[in-house]
Amino acid sequence: MALYAKERAVAIQAVLQASKVCQSVFQHLVANETLTKNDKSPVTVADFSAQAIVNTYLTQSFPEDPIVGEEDSKDLRGDVGKILREKVFSLTNGVLDAQEKLTEDQILAAIDRGNYAGGAKGRHWALDPIDVCLALIVDGVVQLGVMGTPNLPVNAAEPEGPRGSLFVAVRGQGAFQRGFHETSESPIHFADIDDTKKATFCESVEAGHSSHGDAAAIANLLGITRPSIRMDSQAKYCSISRGDADIYLRLPTSKSYEEKIWDHASGNVLVTEAGGKVTDVQGKPLDFSVGRTLAKNKGVIAANANIFDQVLAAVQKVLAAKEQ
């Protein structure tokens, strides 16, 4: 049996079920059912439901493994959280089989299993529930990543075609994609380019996530003229890994902000296994061993390995000019 075969299978099952939650919410919920956290990131019913589902599957199969999850249950508790709690209860159980149904208390407990502080020793999982990104980290190194993309077209060449794919990578075993309703996997790889002039950026729609002005200056240095692909989710890692685009930059928007490990862990191994490279803006590997954030890193650069050095040099030149 291949290394991490059981973990891979359980993670796929968990992410697939959580992705069904997100698809349902995207189709049915409206804007006034959205909470706002202190950090201004949107939190929906899907966030809580997806975390409850994934954490439940992980705990059933790997009860000793702690979990670093994005959410906690405080906004769901007491009279203040009653309406939201009922929505989470309904949505969560709506995708689970009859024998898997959870009580409200079980859902709250499952969400709060994501409170692990992270660290350099042993195994733990990292979960971004709304983007459905799940990673297994062992002794500070990401070994497995599974990502669910409910809204990403299965085939980028058919933007109006079927949507919903799983992206899976185990370190040393390659990167793969399969549709939500399929069982067979197809290997994926970065596009075969060796010239930055042929490259395409994959960027956030929301400028608060990464500096669009800096990205434009970097594109100019690299001779990139093709329009960027824009999306506000960690599906950007999936998009570049299968060759839709070639470069994903998460450029610092403030000196104090620390990237969260759940946003980048699964994408890190996916990109690496698909023929790409990931570092911070200083060229240092992302360090997942220091807790719930990438405290030792600033920004993220993910790109085709063939052009990575040129991309890194352009990023550093633009950022250095801002410091002068």
Q: Are 147 and 236 in contact (CB under 8 A)?
A: no
* Helix pair angle (308-323, 212-222), 10° resolution: 130
Ligand-binding annotation for 72, yes or no, is: no
Q: Which residues contact 77 (CB under 8 A, 6 or more apart)?
A: 85, 108
CA distance 176 to 178: 7
Ligand-binding annotation for 206, yes or no, is: no
Q: Are 265 and 118 in contact (CB under 8 A)?
A: no
Question: Phi then psi for 53, rounded to 5 degrees?
Answer: -65, -50
The token pair at 194 is 């060796």
User: Which residues are bridge partners to 127 per DSSP?
Assistant: 69, 134
Ligand-binding annotation for 130, yes or no, is: yes
Ligand-binding annotation for 263, yes or no, is: yes
Ligand-binding annotation for 232, yes or no, is: no
DSSP string over 167-210: EEEETTS-EEEEETT----EE--------GGG--EEE-SSGGGS
Burial code of 232-256, b = ≥16 C-beta within 10 A, e = fewer?
ebbbbbbbbbbbbbbbbbbbbeeee
Annotated binding site for Mg(2+): 70, 128, 130-131, 263
Annotated binding site: 70, 128, 130-131, 263
